[in-house]
Amino acid sequence: MTRRHLLSLLAALGLAQRSTAAPEPKAAPAASNIEPLKLTDAQWKQRLTPAQYDVLRKEGTERAGTSPLNAEKRKGRYHCAGCDLPLFSSETKYESGTGWPSFYAPLAGAFEYERDFKLFLPRTEYHCVRCGGHHGHRFNDGPQPTGKRYCNNGVALKFVPEPQA
Which residues carry out catalysis? 151
Which residue type does 161 have? P
Strands (E), the chain: 76-80, 86-89, 93-94, 102-103, 111-116, 123-128, 134-139, 149-152, 157-161
CB 77 within 8 A of CB 88: yes
Residue 41 DSSP one-character state: H
What is the residue type of 20? T
